[in-house]
Structure 1
Amino acid sequence: MNNWIEHAIWWHVYPLGFVGAEREAGACVGVVHRLDHLVRWLDYVVELGASGILLGPIFASSTHGYDTTDHFRIDGRLGDDADFDAFVEAARRRGLRIILDGVFNHMGRQSPRFQRAVAGGPQSPEASWFRLTWPADGKEPDCATFEGHHQLVTLNHDEPAVDDYVIRVMNHWLDRGADGWRLDAAYAVPRQFWNRVLPAVRTRHADAYIFGEVIHGDYASFVDATGVDAVTQYELWKAIWSALNDRNFHELAWALARHNAMIGRFVPQTFIGNHDVTRIASQLLDERHIAHALVILMTCGGTPSIYAGDEQAFRGIKEHRAGGDGAIRPAFPAAPAELAPFGWPTYRLHQELIGLRRRHPWLVRAKTRMVEIRNTDLVFEAFDEGNRLWVALNLADAVVGRTIDSGVDRLAGSGAVRRAGGRTELTLPPHGWAILG
């Protein structure tokens, strides 16, 4: 792992939504310089404790950003090259890193390259870039699409020109100041494609952090086969909110045991919210457990990200329909001072727990060991070599008392701590939590 990434905590932003851009690029006349809107939030990100910005798609597209039409051009609804350069410079002044979202499994149907391929017929130079089936009558060919989405045409990852194109795109923006890439829908791309492309990128940018979006399956084997640094840890994400909702910490313990095995091979990208899922404040049945979810995220091994707005307890439900992402990808006000007052306690909680994690940087590779576990309360130990913290969580409506076989102090959270002969007696209030060390 690159040294700098061991200290990374991302603030994850979906830019088109954040700046209030038009839903369709065709509704935007010319270039609208909106990236400065995001610049005005960078001090807020630093104060939160994050070390970088994980950007959603910023390249020219037809609608939501994942139907890319030109990977070398900033989306006109966000701005242009000069706006991007200004954003990079502003982030750099504050010590913030930048990760870009690379959509390399597919392109938008309106991309000029796809349009030329269709218009030029089977013998056109760019026809081989896509998986096209040409009818005998010469009409528009059928083409492979991403998970049945008509507007998302799948690239042919066996075509050498596609390899060269993706390498050029990735290097171009790394040259321009990005620090790494999130590979969208990486699971849908043949693994050998990444195995060809990524070494060529790393030859020029050895310190780039590159992780893939992988939802199901064997995460470690994907890392081994592709050469990515990490993948998205959806398994842990699901276990966190599901265990809290069902009041069943045994589910979390099972997921953390699997997480331990991953940590032994790579450091996953961890989260409790992103641009594709219901916000954690809406996902949880009891809002008191937002803190518990965040505590787990910040004390487990991984490279964590906070989805913009979750640190203010934003609500939003993902709906599985066209346009169903609107509620989880809202526009943000012009400046943090315009946020509603009720979200700031959650922001301060994030500051506290991010600060704790940054004071214990070894947590990036921490494994967990269950100390005591019941359906509604849990004590686990986070450890790496000689470093240890204890985490205690209570979902019950009653006070819980637990004993830790070490003399420790409460570093964060609630509850009473009493030393007793080299041991520590902890009393947690209903729905309380504590981190000890």
Structure 2
Amino acid sequence: MAAWIETTLWWHVYPLGFVGAPRAAPEQAEPVPRLRRLEAWLDYAAEMGATGLALGPIFAASTHGYDTIDHLRIDPRLGDDADFDALVAAARARGLRLLLDGVFNHVGRDFPAFAEVLRLGPEAPRAHWFRLSWPRGPGAEPDYACFEGHRQLVALNHDEPEVATYVEGVMTHWLARGADGWRLDAAYAVPPAFWARILPRVRATHPEAYLVGEVIHGDYAGFVAESGLDAVTQYELWKAIWSALNDRNLYELAHALERHNGFLDRFVPLTFVGNHDVTRIASRLANPRHLGAALAVLFTCGGVPAIYAGDEQGFVGIKEERAGGDDAIRPEFPATPAELPAEGWPLYRLHRELAGLRRAHPWLHRARIRIDHLANRQMVACPQADGQGLLLALNLDDAPAALPAPRGRAVEAGDGQVIDPGAAGARVLVPPHAWAVLSFA
């Protein structure tokens, strides 16, 4: 894995929504340089502490970006190659890396190779790129494998060498154009052997590329080992954070953190409390006072953290399982950060504070968590690595709590008062529904 990832904090943007692009791509439309709207937000991301920009789909597609038509062309709703180059240059000027979203499990029905199938039938030159059957007779549309029942998302045949060559070519093309890595969408739906076949060839020309796969359930460590990916998305921890806070059952969180320690023995996961596919964390939490605790866990455990754009301002939005059900979590942003409502800026400053804490303690990237004290509504955890450590104290109760903080010295972030600083019997007094990060002797 590239060394630069050890100090990376991603700011994750869903571009089509962010810039207010039309939901559906107009036919034969001229490119509109909406991608350049992101440039006005790069200082905002960097000042928050982000060191990378993780983009959702930016390639030509029919609707939401995950129904790709052309992986080698910027979506005309966002602009063209010149607009991409300008964004790369602007990000570089601010020290921001760039992560692209690669949709290689499936394509849209208008993808040229599949359009040939619909037009020419079994004789289409790239029919073998798809898993097809022809039960309806001459002239009829074939049955085809699709992504999770979505007929607009046509699954590729990953056993086909030409598909592997095509995907490898797309990945290396954009890495050569300035990208630093790939988030591989729906990586779990692709046989790990496919990734194991192409990723070494990608790394041969781009050894510093960061390659992370979207994996929701299952054997994370096994998938990483079989696929050759650097990491996968840590949905287990995401779920445990908000669920434990909502139920005020920190045993659930402790269990997830113990499993997280095991993953860190094998790879460093991509961690998050929000992304473009889930209900906003501010809407998910039953008690808004627990948002800081969720962030404190994210920023003090091992991993490569990502902040979904808008979460740092307390944006709300509920994902719904229906057509258009992602719209609320993928809104258009104003032209500049100056137009954001005033009430969101304290949360932004908290993100900046925690990003600074993580920057001051770069060993947190690989920190394991030791649980020192645990009850339903209180926890004291010790992230540690390389002989260094911190204390994280959580209090979800309606009353203050004096929690053990052996050798705790001072509060570095959050809200708390250290009693007998530096002593073996030191404690930290944490207010109701609050948290504190402490240094210790």
Equivalent residue number for residue 188 of structure 2 = 187
- What CA distance in whole angstroms lies between the structure 2 residues aligned with 1:87 and 1:403? 48
Alignment of 1:128-167 (within 5 A): 128-135=128-135, 136-167=137-168
The alpha-carbon deviation at position 273 of structure 1 amounts to 0.1
**How many residues end up aligned between the 2 structures?**
437
Equivalent residue number for residue 79 of structure 1 = 79
Alignment of 1:390-401 (within 5 A): 390-401=391-402
The alpha-carbon deviation at position 418 of structure 1 amounts to 2.3
- What CA distance in whole angstroms lies between the structure 2 residues aligned with 1:51 and 1:254? 30
> Per-residue CA shift, 1:268-305, capped at 9, x if unaligned?
00000000000000000011111000000000000000
Residue identity matched to 1:53 = L
- What CA distance in whole angstroms lies between the structure 2 residues aligned with 1:31 and 1:292? 43
Alignment of 1:380-391 (within 5 A): 380-391=381-392
Aligned-pair identity (%):
63
Equivalent residue number for residue 57 of structure 2 = 57
Conserved? CA contact 2:212–2:230, under 8 Å: yes
The alpha-carbon deviation at position 422 of structure 1 amounts to 4.1
Residue identity matched to 1:97 = R
After superposition, the CA RMSD in angstroms is: 1.0
After TM superposition, where is structure 1 displaced by more than 3 Å over at least 4 residues in a row? Answer: 420-423
Equivalent residue number for residue 433 of structure 2 = 431
Conserved? CA contact 1:318–1:325, under 8 Å: yes
Residue identity matched to 1:105 = N
Conserved? CA contact 2:391–2:408, under 8 Å: no
Residue identity matched to 2:329 = I
Query: Equivalent residue of 1:25, what SS?
Result: coil
Equivalent residue number for residue 272 of structure 2 = 271
- What CA distance in whole angstroms lies between the structure 1 residues aligned with 2:384 and 2:349? 26
Equivalent residue number for residue 204 of structure 1 = 205
Query: Equivalent residue of 2:420, what SS?
Result: strand
TM-score using structure 1 length:
0.99
Conserved? CA contact 2:408–2:438, under 8 Å: no
- What CA distance in whole angstroms lies between the structure 2 residues aligned with 1:211 and 1:118? 33
Conserved? CA contact 2:373–2:404, under 8 Å: no
Alignment of 1:329-348 (within 5 A): 329-348=330-349
- What CA distance in whole angstroms lies between the structure 1 residues aligned with 2:138 and 2:371? 65
Conserved? CA contact 1:273–1:280, under 8 Å: yes
The alpha-carbon deviation at position 152 of structure 1 amounts to 0.3
Equivalent residue number for residue 245 of structure 1 = 246
- What CA distance in whole angstroms lies between the structure 2 residues aligned with 1:28 and 1:430? 58
The alpha-carbon deviation at position 27 of structure 1 amounts to 6.7
The alpha-carbon deviation at position 226 of structure 1 amounts to 0.2
- What CA distance in whole angstroms lies between the structure 1 residues aligned with 2:19 and 2:138? 45
Question: Is 1:310 the equivalent of 2:349?
Answer: no
TM-score using structure 2 length:
0.98
Equivalent residue number for residue 114 of structure 2 = 114
Conserved? CA contact 1:102–1:184, under 8 Å: yes
The alpha-carbon deviation at position 222 of structure 1 amounts to 0.1
> Per-residue CA shift, 1:353-376, capped at 9, x if unaligned?
011001101001000011111111
- What CA distance in whole angstroms lies between the structure 2 residues aligned with 1:289 and 1:273? 15
Equivalent residue number for residue 320 of structure 1 = 321
Question: Is 1:104 the equivalent of 2:117?
Answer: no
The alpha-carbon deviation at position 137 of structure 1 amounts to 2.8
Question: Is 1:33 the equivalent of 2:29?
Answer: no
Residue identity matched to 1:101 = D
Residue identity matched to 2:273 = I
Conserved? CA contact 1:118–1:127, under 8 Å: no
Query: Equivalent residue of 1:178, what SS?
Result: coil
Residue identity matched to 2:429 = T
Equivalent residue number for residue 11 of structure 1 = 11
